[in-house]
Amino acid sequence: MRCWQRCRCVFAGHFGGVPSGVGPPPRRIRQNSAVVRCPLSFPLSLPIPLYRRLMSQSAPSATHSPSPLFDQVRFVLNETSHPGNVGSAARAIKTMGFGRLVLAAPRAGADVLCDPEAIALASGADDVLANTLIVPDLVTALQGVSWAVALSARSREYGPPNAEPRESAAIAVQHAGQGEAVAFVFGSERTGLSNVDVDRCNALVHIPANPVYSSLNLSQAVQLIAWEMRMACLAQERGHAPKVVMVAPPVADAASHDALATRDDVEGMLTHLERALVELDFLDPDNPKKLMTRLRRLFAKSHLEREEVNILRGISKHILERKVRR
């Protein structure tokens, strides 16, 4: 296969992409309602399942992370509208040494990774763009994440604890140093993150920009947070990590680390508990008010262990079983 026959938008993460200007002009190929743009001179017959699988695979990144800490960090764009911001975000995180970009329910679908504007604004971060993971929702994007940070321009009356960007990076790097995955979550350009999406995270961060004009482009916000995270990672490597109040307590050994409940453990417990509270008529699903939000905040402060989560799930299970027997 010649160099120009390597499809940049699908195979860049596996073959390294193609040089700009090599081969014939890009063509639009429509296959089962999905448009694949590539520089091939012949139609590309690529079934949709294979296309999506290739898009979501994690090929080796060319970002050359300075340390394993960088590999534990993912940047999540939720319901992004503009392909250009996806490319710019890819470039922003690569310049800081990161390579894990996740798109949750992008408005343009999987085709956003092949959009000419996204490719152009990635500007050298084609490998990050090609390896970007596309998932159907934020819940999926946060699977396996131990600590997640929501970025918002608006303050919330309820929700997770507030933190400064630098503080959140310092806490995140401590989790990453324990081998845990961390995520920074950014909302859509027009509406940002919903309250439900914010509640799924462990901390809420507001970038303290000029109060007279605080408007930041999405990729600019990503760049700022990526820089703060880079500085925190490098400080951790040098043994100069700042002392902060941790969202989760430090662990002394692997056994105690395994005892801590993961974010997924707590999410599953909360779902189970919510069902039990509805069955008890303690929670009205049509008028839930702020009960589950307050419970989320309560458990976020408690640093639950897995055994404690199992106890709460056992209580919920018993409530639901008694309801069925009656």
Q: pTM to 2 decimals?
A: 0.68
- Alpha-carbon gap, residue 152 to 22, rounded angstroms: 41
Number of domains in the chain: 2
- Alpha-carbon gap, residue 304 to 59, rounded angstroms: 34
- Alpha-carbon gap, residue 215 to 249, rounded angstroms: 35
The pair of structure tokens assigned to 33 is 């309602």
Q: Which of 205, 238, 271 is the last residue of a domain?
A: 238
| 218 lies in the same domain as 311 | no
Range of the domain at 317: 263-325
The CATH number that applies at residue 127 is 3.40.1280.10
Domain contains 13:
no
- Alpha-carbon gap, residue 152 to 97, rounded angstroms: 24
| 114 lies in the same domain as 233 | yes
| 315 lies in the same domain as 211 | no
Instruction: Give the pLDDT confidence score for residue 323 in this predicted structure.
Output: 66
- Alpha-carbon gap, residue 73 to 183, rounded angstroms: 6
* pLDDT tens, residue by residue, 260-294: 777 778 878 888 888 888 888 888 888 877 788 78
In which residue ranges of the chain is pLDDT below 70? 1-66, 157, 241-258, 323-326
Question: What stretches of the chain show up as alpha helix (H) in DSSP?
Answer: 8-15, 48-56, 68-71, 83-95, 116-122, 126-130, 138-141, 165-177, 195-199, 218-237, 254-259, 263-279, 291-302, 306-325
Domain contains 187:
yes
Q: Per-residue DSSP letters for 282-319? A: SS-TTS-TTHHHHHHHHHHHHT-BHHHHHHHHHHHHHH
Mean predicted lDDT score pLDDT of the chain: 77
Instruction: Please name the amino acid found at residue 45.
Output: S
Domain contains 8:
no
The CATH number that applies at residue 267 is 1.10.8.590
Domain contains 92:
yes
* pLDDT tens, residue by residue, 302-317: 778 888 888 888 888 8
